[in-house]
């Protein structure tokens, strides 16, 4: 992974993290600055890792789908044919910046879909799947990663919440 891609991944993770943490800070202004910094740092690592794993997860889904969709195709080579490039990840950074609430969730979703469509071409070429099958693999991988991170995030929030907050949540 090149330095440019790594920097873009960190910036996209930081932007996604800010989009999640800043509304919390606005609702609870008495949060301590070290806690906010810790949430931002943790969120940056988690979101950046999730973005970095998207092509690998899509490749894994493609390996599972290929015997069903294209049984006559040769086995897939290693996943080195599908990786982030600065041209692919730059729109994702823009999507992360637009992730802030009220600044365009629909535009954010459209840009993420466009980045996924950009990944579909290389996945299709590297795996031998059709473009639509590759796009489906990318969508499944993105939704799976998002659902996993959201589940862990809610679980941690529930664990951290005291008994009174748990009763209020229920």
> Which letter does DSSP use for residue 53 in this model?
H
CB distance 137 to 124 below 8 Å: no
- The pLDDT of residue 143 is 92
- The pLDDT of residue 25 is 84
- List the Cα angle 5/121/59 in 5-degree steps: 70
The domain of 116 spans 3-169
> Which letter does DSSP use for residue 75 in this model?
P
- The pLDDT of residue 166 is 52
Measured CA to CA, the distance from residue 135 to residue 120 in angstroms comes to: 5
CB distance 9 to 32 below 8 Å: no
> Which letter does DSSP use for residue 76 in this model?
P
CB distance 86 to 8 below 8 Å: yes
- The pLDDT of residue 162 is 61
Tell me the H-state helices in the chain.
Answer: 3-27, 33-69, 86-97, 105-127, 131-160, 163-169
The series of mean pLDDT values per 10 residues for the chain, 170 residues long, is 83 80 82 87 88 87 75 56 70 61 64 84 84 91 90 80 57
Q: How many domains does the chain have?
A: 1
- Whole-model pTM: value is 0.75
């Amino acid at each position: 992974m090149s330095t440019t891609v790594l920097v873009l991944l960190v910036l996209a993770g930081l932007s996604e993290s800010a989009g999640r943490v800043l509304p919390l800070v606005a609702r609870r202004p008495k949060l301590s600055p070290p806690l906010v910094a810790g949430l931002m740092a943790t969120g940056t690592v988690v979101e950046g890792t999730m973005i970095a794993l998207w092509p690998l997860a899509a490749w894994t889904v493609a390996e599972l789908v290929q015997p069903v969709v294209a049984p006559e195709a040769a086995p897939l080579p290693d996943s080195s044919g599908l990786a982030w490039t600065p041209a692919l990840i730059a729109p994702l950074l823009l999507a992360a910046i637009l992730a802030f609430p009220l600044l365009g969730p629909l535009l954010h979703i459209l840009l993420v879909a466009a980045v996924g469509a950009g990944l579909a071409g290389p996945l299709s070429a590297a795996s031998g799947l059709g473009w639509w099958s590759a796009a489906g693999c990318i969508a499944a991988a993105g939704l799976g990663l998002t659902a996993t991170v959201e589940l862990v995030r809610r679980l941690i929030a529930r664990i951290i919440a005291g008994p009174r907050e748990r009763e209020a949540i229920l």
